[in-house]
Amino acid sequence: MTAELRIGTSGYSFPHWVGTAYPEGTRSADMLSTYARDFDAVEINFTYYRDPTAEIFEAMLRKVSPDFTFVIKAPKGMTHERDTLAAVAPPFIASLQPLLSAGQLGGVLLQFPQSFHLTDTSLDHLKRVADILVSRDITPCVEFRHKEWYEDRVYQLLNKLQLGFVNVDLPRIDMLPEPTSIQTHDVAYFRLHGRNKDAWYNPATSSHRYDYLYTDAELEEWGQRVEGSLDAVKKAFIFANNCHKGSSFVNALRLKQRFGQDVRSDADVSHTLFASDDPEDRILEMVRRVEASRAQEDGWASGD
């Protein structure tokens, strides 16, 4: 068995991607359709902060092909403010119905905070979440931000509850998880957050926390981990969350290349950002633009 592998980014609607990943003049309303020319999956993160509606997801579906997959981040009332689970879960699940009906819901991401510790209370919470989602044919995948969760007994419980495990790349800081390749269900899940150690706890903005551009060698480390998991699962996701200035976009394109997936040029697009019809030239120019934008921002910050 070789898994269906989908590669994308965590979010797609970023004004600071215009001019680096998106053509100049790209409107917010056009960002999803622009994104979907390059990727067949996306992680939706706004749902953590505010309640989604079925109408929002219906509008999103109209902007992508029927083969496109959405993974939706669970609201904070399911992961951070856990006492509100019973109130938050029903409307959240109701909002997902258009995606479920279309067969385009890849799963729900449950990202727990570093303060979520391995306790009996926390384990009971995971069981309640599993009862709510798995019974509705929704695939939940769990991301832990504290390394104490990285134990065999946790993996065994997740497997029993039919919860997927999210492998993460994070700055090398005490108590944050280190790189892994763990599967506890029939989905393999990988999230690359960048390695911006200095800004992880005190970023200038939430976007700056993820200000990191992976090198090809760093991506290859993860490519090998992902490759080693593909024969053990039915589907696999890689999402780049180092979103600042479009770094995640270009790194996700590199990962597509690494796995032999097609990477397009801009030759067939009327409003093009890149002059060449060679996909490699496009990626190199995108890297140049991302690096230049990051350097310009650093210059402003330092007063140069």
Per-residue confidence (pLDDT) for residue 267, from 0 to 100: 60
pLDDT band for position 115 (50/70/90)? very high
Q: Which domains does the chain carry? A: 4-302 (3.20.20.410)
pLDDT band for position 11 (50/70/90)? very high
Question: Is the per-residue pLDDT at 271 higher than 60?
Answer: no
Average pLDDT for residues 209-217, to the nearest whole number?
A: 96
pLDDT band for position 300 (50/70/90)? low
Average pLDDT for residues 86-91, to the nearest whole number?
A: 96
Task: Give the pLDDT confidence of 25-73 residue by residue, as tens digits.
Answer: 899 999 999 999 999 999 999 999 999 999 999 999 999 999 999 999 9
Per-residue confidence (pLDDT) for residue 278, from 0 to 100: 86
Per-residue confidence (pLDDT) for residue 273, from 0 to 100: 65
More confident residue, 278 or 37: 37
Closest by CA position to 72, among listed 96, 37, 54, 50? 96
Per-residue confidence (pLDDT) for residue 289, from 0 to 100: 93
Per-residue confidence (pLDDT) for residue 272, from 0 to 100: 62
Tokens found for residue 245: 């200035």
pLDDT band for position 206 (50/70/90)? confident
Burial class (CB in 10 A: 0-12, 13-18, 19+), 153: exposed
Per-residue confidence (pLDDT) for residue 268, from 0 to 100: 54
Scanning 238-277, the segments in alpha helix (DSSP H) are: 247-258
Task: Give the pLDDT confidence of 243-263 residue by residue, as tens digits.
Answer: 999 999 999 999 999 999 999
Task: Give the pLDDT confidence of 148-202 residue by residue, as tens digits.
Answer: 999 999 999 999 999 999 999 999 999 999 999 999 999 999 999 999 999 999 8
Question: Is the per-residue pLDDT at 277 higher than 80?
Answer: no
Average pLDDT for residues 96-107, to the nearest whole number?
A: 98
Q: Can you spell out the DSSP letters for 89-149?
A: HHHHHHHTHHHHHHT-EEEEEEE--TT--SSHHHHHHHHHHHHHHHTTT--EEEE-SSGGG
Distances (CA, A) of 224 to 33, 97, 143, 234, 255: 30, 35, 20, 18, 11
Scanning the chain, the segments in alpha helix (DSSP H) are: 31-35, 54-61, 76-79, 85-95, 97-102, 120-134, 152-161, 216-229, 247-258, 279-302
Per-residue confidence (pLDDT) for residue 2, from 0 to 100: 80
